[in-house]
Chain A
Amino acid sequence: MIRRLVLIVLGLIWLAPTYLLLANAARGLDDYDPERIWDLPGSFELLANMADAWARVELGPSIGATFLYAVVAPAAAVVIGAMAGFGISVLRVKGGFGWFMLIFGGTIFPTQMLLIPLFFGFSSTQLYDTRLGLLVIYTAISVPFAAFVMRNFFTGVAHSLFEAARMDGANLWRVFWRIYLPLALPALGAVFILEFTFIWNDLLFGLTLSQSPEVRPIMTAVSSLNSAYAGTRMPVILAAGILVSLPTVALFLFTQRIFARGLALGQF
């Protein structure tokens, strides 16, 4: 009984910020009063506030750009990473483990170590403040983890599959693209989802490598919004907070079961 009680009390504390977010994002601007933030909203203007955030605060272009990065970069990264995993585990390249460590080692550097050279490199190659530039960096940063997962996945596939496919005369690329890649779809999906969330939440690369509204990712856009629109327009900012969280909430609900099951099967 005490267990339930403690959980309920803690749970209510944990829910309070979420309640404040929802209640005050749902208010109309004239219903908002800093003194009465705990009251239930007297109006329901959530969608209007979101529309306001989209259009007037110019989050729209940022959201579009971030979607592009968060979908295209992980998609490219899982294919590129899967190619590496295929080369190492299936084709058994000489020195495969060394190559693998070299690729995976790319994840150990803190982002801070990359920013200065990337900033100047991007400036001198006209990649600064372009969507292509951010796609390149997001893809590269996603590759090591994808390669890590795919190498492990392909190691678990019986080698006789490869031999059978080769016997049928398929060339290597076909074997990879038509047999191994579809086989790995669930693993690719899991990696894709994790990388999507990572990119959707990235601040540092966006801050350093972009500035215009059509290019800069959503975290960067919101960081400038917080200071510029504080005060009376609070409901719009809060609605923006919900708006930019919709993809992560949806993914979370969608994957919660898979996530828990995946962890249960993992090394823990």
Chain B
Amino acid sequence: MTGTRRWAGVSFLSPSLLLVAVVLYAPFLWTVYLSFTDYDGLRSPTFVGFDNYIRFLEDPALATSVRNTLMWAVGITVLPVAFGLLIAVLSYGLKGGTFYRLPFLLPYALSGAGLAVIWGFILQSGGAANDILGTDISLLQEAPWNTLSLIVAMTWQQAGVNALLFLVGLQSIPKEVAEAAKLDGAGSWGMFRKITWPLLAPLTTVVVGLSLVASLKTFDIVWISTQGGPGRSSETLAVTMYRDAFVAAEFGYGAAVAFSLTIVTGLVSFIYMRRQVRAVS
């Protein structure tokens, strides 16, 4: 009985294991290998040691790419999180709160392609953004405005869902705590600083952490809006990887960029999580 059941169990696991092994693990390992080779896609890869990584560090495009990726990381961990928190705190417990939150949730329902289309329209030269700013800059054509305006676009889309997450956190704060603070004469800012903010801290950690990891891998909106251009001025690391591999057909080099991105993302999440866990305990 136990023998057959063990085999039966393995057979239930095998489709998952097979797919994950063939489509996820094997390509991952192959990319790691390719990152140490010179590979143009036609001839077989030749082993070159750390050459790709050294070249990557000396590449002038890297500095731009890293700077942009950092801008994304900072922008996306601050703006959508701060707006989300603001919206949640302001609308929590307010009569008709759902109604007030609706404008912030609509963008979240939009598909990625819809987001790209609408912001391409707003940011084009002579478009709505320039109307409002009273300027005549080609926002998508000039660094650092291209990266900054795309961060604004992302903020517009992400703030609502962050507000929802914070709202759930707010609901879990015991009413007695808030009332006790009110009786002690805490004003609304004092309430926020002494009660709401500390009690939301674990949730904030999660929201910031998720935003951080996602922002380091920013690709879609940049690729659709500018393809990393003009020149390579709005490239992020993920865009650099795609361009090196699939536009320049330097697959070994692209693999090295991909693996570097993986290590940076992994390292940042690890350090962030460790610090936060320590801070909480």
Chain A residue at smallest Cβ distance from B29: A117
Q: Does B223 touch A at the CB level, under 8 Å?
A: yes
Do B13 and A88 have beta carbons less than 8 Å apart? yes
Cβ-neighbour of B224 out of A24, A34, A223 (below 8 A): A223
Given known contacts A94-B6, A112-B258, A116-B258, A219 and B17 CB-to-CB distance under 8 angstroms: no
- Are A86 and B116 in contact, with the CB atoms below 8 A? no
How far, in Å, is A32 (CB) from chain B's closest CB? 11
Contact B24 A7, beta carbon cutoff 8 Å? no
Which of B55-63, B141-149, B167-175, B271-279 has 4 or more CB atoms under 8 Å from chain A?
B167-175
Alpha-carbon separation in the docked complex, A268 to B164 (Å):
12
Interface extent on A, as a size class?
Answer: 35 or more
A7, A86, A116, A249: the one within 8 Å of B31 (CB): A116
Instruction: Let me know if A132 is at the binding interface, CB within 8 A.
Output: no
Contact status A11-B100, CB under 8 Å: yes
**Of all chain A residues, which has the CB nearest B108?**
A252
Chain A residues, CB < 8 A from B32: 113
Q: Which of A1-42 contact B (CB under 8 A)?
A: 3-4, 6-8, 10-12, 14-18, 20-21, 24, 34, 37-38
Which A residue sits closest to B251, measured CB to CB? A116
Interfacial chain B residues near A263, Cβ < 8 Å: 164-165, 168
CA distance A84 to B106 in the complex (A): 36
| Residue interface bits B105-135, CB-to-A below 8 A is 1, else 0 | 1111111111011111110101110010000
A17's partner among B10, B100, B118, B164 (CB-CB below 8 A) is B118
Q: Are A240 and B117 interface neighbours, CB within 8 A?
A: yes
Contact check, B118 vs A238: say whether CB atoms are below 8 A apart. Answer: yes
Q: What is the CA–CA distance of A113 and B22 in the complex, to the nearest angstrom?
A: 14
Task: Give the size category of B's interface with A.
Answer: 35 or more
Q: By the criterion CB–CB under 8 Å, are B242 and A83 in contact?
A: no
B233-245 CB mask vs A (1 if < 8 Å, else 0) is 0000010011001
Which residue in A80, A141, A268 is a CB contact (below 8 Å) of B24?
A141
In contact, B91 and A7 (Cβ under 8 angstroms): yes
Bound-state CA distance A217–B245 (Å) is 21
Q: Are B156 and A17 in contact (CB under 8 A)?
A: yes
Given A244-B113, A268-B172, A238 and B13 touching (CB < 8 A)?
no
Q: Is the CB of A201 within 8 A of B111?
A: yes
Q: Which residue of A lies closest to B203 (CB)?
A: A268
Alpha-carbon separation in the docked complex, A83 to B106 (Å): 36
Q: Are B242 and A112 in contact (CB under 8 A)?
A: yes
Interface residues of A in 209-256 (CB under 8 A from B): 218-219, 222-223, 226, 230, 234, 237-238, 240-242, 244-245, 247-249, 252-253, 256
Q: A113-B31, A143-B19 are in contact. List 5 more A-B contacts (CB 8 A).
A: A21-B121, A84-B13, A87-B12, A140-B20, A245-B109
Q: Which 9 A-B pairs have the closest CB atoms?
A: A241-B117, A87-B12, A93-B9, A140-B23, A252-B109, A117-B27, A245-B114, A201-B112, A91-B9
Some 21 contacts from A to B, beta carbons below 8 A apart, are A4-B94, A10-B104, A11-B102, A17-B107, A20-B128, A38-B128, A80-B15, A91-B9, A91-B12, A96-B9, A110-B262, A112-B238, A115-B242, A117-B30, A203-B219, A219-B113, A234-B121, A238-B117, A245-B110, A259-B164, A264-B168
